[in-house]
Amino acid sequence: MKKMLVAAMLAAMLAGCATTGKLSSDERLQLYRSHAGAPVNSFKYFGSLNGWTELGDSALAVWTRPNEAWLLNLGGPCMDLSYAPAITVTNMMGQVSARFDRVIVHGSGPMAHVPCRIDSIQPLDVKALRASEKEMREAKIAERAADQGGETN
């Protein structure tokens, strides 16, 4: 049942991005949410983040290791998140907690260094997420090839 739901969602997202070839933040957020587990109170992380992906202005994914990622749902719009060159996640003693810690957006605009409260944290199934992203890329390539094959000059 879950595979059918993910397949239907992927088909809808592909239809939405066929003209631009790129997923919107809302489409990416849907994809990440479909691969997120039940909310947890916190996660441990030491040092620096391995990476992050903005998912609109009120959510982002952070990687603590190459195969470990978390979906952070924020308490409201986090200004300039989609344009930020860097973020910081506050934590106490190597643990990031929902409803306590914040994401700090670093940027050059007037909203630089604005803290955004983390409302909820969900673990991401990174392996399944990557597989879905790969399926989407392959489907886009096949769609482009079909479109180019049907063109006449």
Among residues 81, 64, 82, which one has the least CA distance to residue 126? 64
* Residue 108, pLDDT above cutoff 60: yes
Of the listed ranges 1-10, 22-31, 120-129, 132-141, the least confidently predicted one is 1-10
* Parent domain of 137: 1-35+126-153
Strands 42-44 and 95-97: antiparallel
Q: Are residues 89 and 46 in the same domain?
A: yes
- Residues 60/119, Cβ–Cβ less than 8 Å: no
Q: Are residues 108 and 59 in the same domain?
A: yes
Q: Are residues 15 and 31 in the same domain?
A: yes
Q: Are residues 130 and 111 in the same domain?
A: no
* Average confidence score pLDDT of the chain: 82
pLDDT tens column, 28-85 = 899 999 999 999 999 998 878 899 999 999 999 999 999 999 999 999 998 888 888 8
Query: Residue 29's pLDDT is what?
Result: 93
Q: Are residues 77 and 145 in the same domain?
A: no
* β strands within 26-80, DSSP E: 42-44, 51-54, 59-65, 68-74
Q: Are residues 43 and 115 in the same domain?
A: yes
Query: Residue 109's pLDDT is what?
Result: 65
* Bridge partners of residue 73, in order along the sequence: 59, 120
Number of domains, the chain: 2
Q: Are residues 96 and 148 in the same domain?
A: no
Q: Are residues 134 and 150 in the same domain?
A: yes
* Residue 4, pLDDT above cutoff 60: no
By CB atoms closer than 10 A (0-12, 13-18, 19+), residue 126 is middle
* Residue 152, pLDDT above cutoff 80: no
